[in-house]
Amino acid sequence: MTVVISMSLPSLGLKYMSIEMLIIAICIGLNIALAYGYYQLGKRLQSAHQVIRALQSDVSALCAGAVGVSQHIDKIEGQSRYLADRQDQINANSSDDRSYIQAMRMAEKGMDVDELMSTCDLAHEEASLIYALHTGHYGQKPAVGLDIRLD
């Protein structure tokens, strides 16, 4: 039994269409729309996969760079610690050297061993050695007012 629906579709040139034909036409239209939608989704999925691969590549490069930067920072920190230790050693040595230099100048100006010891915080042996080397007198004070040099 076929039911005929009276529809006027003047743009299609059809005056009468059966219900089966209408359902088939609707199904074909929906099929075409679904196929086009599926095609568009496939293109978007492909594009999304390309973006994901590019992002994965970028993340891998960043991770590799971070490892390199971390190693470089560790190296710089080690050098910094070494330089700080070395600077501390130099500062300690230079403060010792300054007291010896001051003692040499004082000895050259005629100050005695006791003054060298108290002013420069030197041991008796150190002060005596500096005094002897820079005055030419070995343990004794120079005579006051008498400055004889044999050069």
Which amino acid appears at position 148 of this protein?
I
Q: Which tens digit of pLDDT belongs to each residue from 84-112? A: 888 888 777 666 677 888 888 888 888 89
Model pLDDT, residue 49:
97
Q: Where are the alpha helices (DSSP H) in the chain?
A: 19-108, 113-120, 124-135
Please determine, for residue 144, whether its predicted confidence score (pLDDT) is greater than 60: no
Whole-angstrom distance, CA of residue 97 vs CA of residue 95: 5
| Structural domain includes residue 143 | no
Of 76, 78, 149, the C-alpha closest to 108 is 149
Please determine, for residue 124, whether its predicted confidence score (pLDDT) is greater than 80: yes
| Structural domain includes residue 141 | no
Residue ranges making up the domain that contains 119: 17-135
Bridge partner list, 18: 4
Q: Work out the pLDDT band at 146, boundaries 50, 70, 90.
A: very low
| Structural domain includes residue 145 | no
| Structural domain includes residue 148 | no
| Structural domain includes residue 31 | yes
Query: What are residue 14's phi and psi, to 5 degrees?
Result: -110, 130
Cβ contacts of 117 within 8 Å, gap of 6 or more = 123, 124, 127
Q: Which tens digit of pLDDT belongs to each residue from 19-72? A: 999 999 999 999 999 999 999 999 999 999 999 999 999 999 999 999 889 899
Residues 118-143 have a mean pLDDT of 78
Whole-angstrom distance, CA of residue 109 vs CA of residue 105: 6
Burial class, 125, CB count within 10 angstroms (exposed 0-12 / middle 13-18 / buried 19+): exposed
| Structural domain includes residue 120 | yes
| Structural domain includes residue 11 | no
Identify the residue whose tokens are 């008796």. Answer: 124
Of 80, 126, 78, the C-alpha closest to 99 is 126
- CB distance 89 to 112 below 8 Å: no
Domain count, the chain: 1
Q: What is the pTM of this model?
A: 0.39
Model pLDDT, residue 121:
85
| Structural domain includes residue 76 | yes
